[in-house]
Amino acid sequence: MGGRSVVLLNILLIVVAVSAGEAEEEPVNKSTLGLWENNNEDELDGGFPSLDGILHWAIGHSDPAKLQQQAQQHLSTQDDHILQKRQTEIKEVVEKLEEEMPSDSKLMQLAIHDLKNNNNNNLEDALHQLLILVEAIHNANNLHNMGGLSLVIAQLNNSDHTIRTTSAWVVGKAAQNNPLVQNQVLQLGALPKLMLMVKSSFIEEAIKALYAVSAVVRNNDKGIELFYSQGGDIMIQGILSNTTADVRLHRRLVSLIADLAEYQLVYNSNLELPFLNNCALVKVLFDLTTSDDLDLQEKVLLAVKNLLMLESTELLVLDGFCGLKGALERMRLQLQQLIREENDNEYAIDVDGLCKEVNLIYLEKLTKTRGLNNISVSQVPT
């Protein structure tokens, strides 16, 4: 979308949704447009920010009278019955808005200015604004140059936990799939702080902090190394074995394990993470599958699948992979029951398929590893 303002795009989505809801000739199923109703993003980063708030913030920084006048002119005309006409009008509104709206970098500047002034009344709005803006990679890339990243990171120390939470969210969003920002966050020394926040007793803070930690270390050698040296493995095991911890934390941690294993697989990293080939970890993962959360079960299976494929887990495989067979059997019984009770619950069928796949991978690797072992035995000089 090039230089088009992210904020503008969000406004466009709102306008389209409102308009679709109003057009009676061609009813549109609103739930397909209902990003902001359904929190579809929940899985990715723990929730969608309030678009209303952003809209108000953005409008607050332009000329509200003009914008409102235009919106009224174009959206509430009574004689409007044709969807196509609507669409043309929406396009016009957007074009007008585009002229009126400040550019992304102007909005970034304004938000950063509010952060700099450190006035607690504006902080939350400014952070939410950045949250939307850094979704575009060019804005994320500019955040540090404009002085914003260190200001956001400084707010991880704010005494108000909601400010800390949103700050972690911004850091995570900016760093996600962005090696440049990942390295900037690491250089600014924010990872240990974020890791501490994962242990917060405010659950949202813990979740957003873990989101940020995962975003910063994903596929990043330095990040993984630092995570590990700061006791990341102990943190993971501690939370995973806490049966009363929030299931969202568990899901995210299990995905982090899958990521760490995948990194070793794909990049053949020299970075050895012994905790990945440790029965203590694998058993904790299996224990999680006794929960009836299908999403969690699926994530555990995906993580186990990656762990199984690591070269470093050969010994575990020869030894039955920490009771994999029993764990899979138990899961499959549980899933079969769910499939019976819930009229072929498709999700359960998929997860059951994944169980079979994991078992096959295990058997293949077992055969291969045994073969390799026998060869090396026969090659021992006599």
Binding residues (CB under 6 A) for ligand NAG: these are 29, 31, 153-154, 156-157, 193, 242, 244-245, 370-371, 373-374
* Sign of the torsion formed by the C-alpha atoms of 86, 88, 92 and 94: positive
Residues near 198 by beta carbon (within 8 Å), at least 6 away in sequence: 206, 209, 210, 213, 235, 239, 249
Q: Which residue has the tokens 């016009």?
A: 92
Output the smallest distance, CB 156 to ligand NAG, in A.
Answer: 6
| 246 phi-psi bin (left φ>0, alpha ψ -120 to 50, beta other) | beta
Smallest gap from Cβ 279 to ligand NAG, in A, equals 21
Q: How far is the CB of 193 from ligand NAG (least distance, A)?
A: 6
Give 31 or 270: the residue with its C-beta nearer to ligand NAG: 31
Sign of the CA dihedral running 116, 117, 123, 126: negative
What backbone torsions phi and psi does residue 40 show, to the nearest 5 degrees?
A: -60, -25
CB of 30 to ligand NAG, least distance (A): 8
Nearer to ligand NAG, 9 or 366 (CB): 366
262-266: which pairs have CB atoms within 8 A and are 24 or more residues apart? 262/306, 263/218, 263/219, 263/224, 264/310, 264/312, 265/306, 265/309, 265/310
Q: Which is nearer to ligand NAG, 39 or 69 (CB)?
A: 39
Q: How far is the CB of 246 from ligand NAG (least distance, A)?
A: 6
Q: How far is the CB of 228 from ligand NAG (least distance, A)?
A: 20
Q: Which is nearer to ligand NAG, 92 or 342 (CB)?
A: 342
64 or 371: CB nearest ligand NAG: 371
User: Cβ closer to ligand NAG: 153 or 327?
Assistant: 153
